[in-house]
Amino acid sequence: MRAFVYNVVLTIFWMAVTEAFTLENFLVGFAISFLILLLARPLFDAPSRRYFTLAWKLPRFVLLMLWEIVLSSLRVAQAVLSPRLPIKPGIIAYPLEVKSDLEITLLANLITLTPGTLSLDVSSDRKVLYVHGMFVDDPQKVIESTHESLEKAVLEVTR
């Protein structure tokens, strides 16, 4: 967290020195400050170094989520436009590997954001997430697919 604060402070200093308080200048200053702090990374304690690894993981996470949304949107659109409506809805008891409130909430929201799926509930012991899906031909395949894409991405970003 401290590295992020330094990044923002250096960015504000950049904007003051260049006398341009625009979004473009903020982004340029933020990038330059990040590169300077990246070079000084050995001077930071271990928790502050997490900022630099997260800066690489977060864009990858966002791209993965956008890709999942596009793929599922196309599948839902294909099903809706098909003359026979080839859906097989079902509710899956998804075993959770994520543990913290943040991780469970993030995974449940990502599942809900993906078209064709909806997070319904979390078990009282917080080990199972109940998910409704439009295409539940093989529940085990859906569980494996969700674990390999969304849950692994959540774990990578939060741990």
Task: Give the model confidence (pLDDT) of 19-71 as tens digits.
Answer: 999 999 999 999 999 999 988 888 887 777 788 888 888 899 999 999 999 99
CA distance 137 to 114: 17
Q: pLDDT digit string (tens) for 65-101?
A: 999 999 999 989 998 898 888 899 999 999 999 999 9
CA distance 131 to 145: 13
pTM of the model: 0.75
Q: Residue 117: name the closest of 73, 158, 60 by CA.
A: 73
User: What are φ and ψ of residue 21, in 5° steps?
Assistant: -100, 70
Amino acid letter, 141? K
Residues 6+ positions from 91 with CB-CB distance below 8 Å: 120, 130, 131, 132, 133, 136
